[in-house]
Amino acid sequence: MEQAEIRIKIGKNIRHWRTWRGLSEEAVAARLAIKTKRLQKYEYGGDSPTCDELIELAALFQCTVDDLCKEAP
């Protein structure tokens, strides 16, 4: 699997879990101490979160890092 495909898959999962938990982009970005624009890049596959950010996202969404990295629901 190419890196672009992996970024897109992770981004779709981040967006899915964020909306499923009823969180705004701004709230999630603030929790990660990043700009909203960067979170948007994650969600649309333009960039990838760091390992630490994936762990923080999983804690915030009450899911596993695996949930964020597997095929989108």
Parse the chain into domains and list their residue ranges. Answer: 3-69
| pLDDT at 1 exceeding the cut of 80 | no
Predicted TM-score (pTM) of the model is 0.92
The confidence score (pLDDT) of residue 71 equals: 79
6-26 pLDDT, tens per residue? 999 999 999 999 999 999 999
The confidence score (pLDDT) of residue 29 equals: 97
55-65 pLDDT, tens per residue? 999 999 999 99
Percent of the chain with pLDDT over 70: 97
The number of helix segments (H) and strand segments (E) in the chain equals 5, 0
Fold of 3-69: 434 Repressor (Amino-terminal Domain) (1.10.260)
Written as one string, the DSSP assignment of 42-73 is HHTTSS---HHHHHHHHHHHTS-HHHHHS---
